[in-house]
Structure 1
Amino acid sequence: MQDFSFMTIEEIFLLQDALKKNKRQILKFISFGLLLVIFAAFVPHYFLSRRLSEEEINDSLFSYKNLWFWAWLGSFVLALIFALIKVTDVRYFTIKKDLTKLEKGQIQVPLESVYQGNNEMQTSFVVQQEGVKKRKRLFYWMRGRLDNFRAGQQVEIIYGRHSRVILAINKL
């Protein structure tokens, strides 16, 4: 059974903190992508300049003066950034949606599995919801590592409705 209600001020601050962490993570990925672009654009050009003439370098696919090089490199870096975001469970846009709607959910379910992610800075819980369709849902504890929860335990989870970021979790 799911109940939806409005968030308290403390829960709003918890979501804002999670949003800051996610924003920091995204900025890290973008700066990594930009560093990769700079590295990939100028290092091949440097090595080509040692062996080829300037005209041959400009005709090369590895030249930063070639439009196809930038198209390939840009799409590669964009795909890399999105892959990093997906792998690390960044929930930036859904947390922003939670902060505008201010709705929280509450559910009582048994834990199916628990695992640590994001360099053990986040704990994720998989639960199987009862209802019309049995489906598995993933909930995120963004405030570090939780060691005292195990699969099979019955818990009560209070979470942001759209992001499924856990605001409070209690054993029953």
Structure 2
Amino acid sequence: MLEADPRFAEFVAERGDALLRYGYVLAGNPHDAADLVQEALLKLRGAWPRLRSKENPESYARTTMARLHIAVWRRRRRELLAWELPEGAHHDALPSGDERRMWQALAGLPRKQRAVLVLRYYEQLDDAEIADVLGISRGTVRSQASRALDKLRAAIPTEQLTRGNVR
């Protein structure tokens, strides 16, 4: 059994919400986001004794979350997932207007394309860092980003967006 380390508990208390927000942007829904955070924190807890001297354990957690997200995509790429239950679906409230359309378009992207965009624009990683995190080549990063942006542009033409509403 691992000894309790108060620094790990402090890290979770301080950065847990930020990791959950990152998971939401990465996964596109709050349930998968919570799963990603929980699995990443379990892995981080196991590696905590080796990370004590490192300055940024959050980087380890975020990288783990991105890799877990892609691993799920790889396992499920042949499955057709249906998120809505037959007896009726519950939808969390989304922002209104342009932001809602943008979130819906982002959620509609394939997992790998969404992961590349999140790492590029939310985490502000360059292509080499994204390739390292996802275990793919730089060329694949660029092609996935290009395809994802093309799909977003097609889903929401620029002239439909209200100036200043989408960040």
Same fold (TM over 0.5): no
| Larger of the two Rg values belongs to structure | 1
TM-score range, shorter-chain basis? under 0.3
The structure with the largest strand share of the pair is 1
The structure with the largest helix share of the pair is 2
TM-score by length of 2: 0.27
TM-score by length of 1: 0.26
The structure whose RCO (Cα within 8 Å, separation 6+) is larger is 1
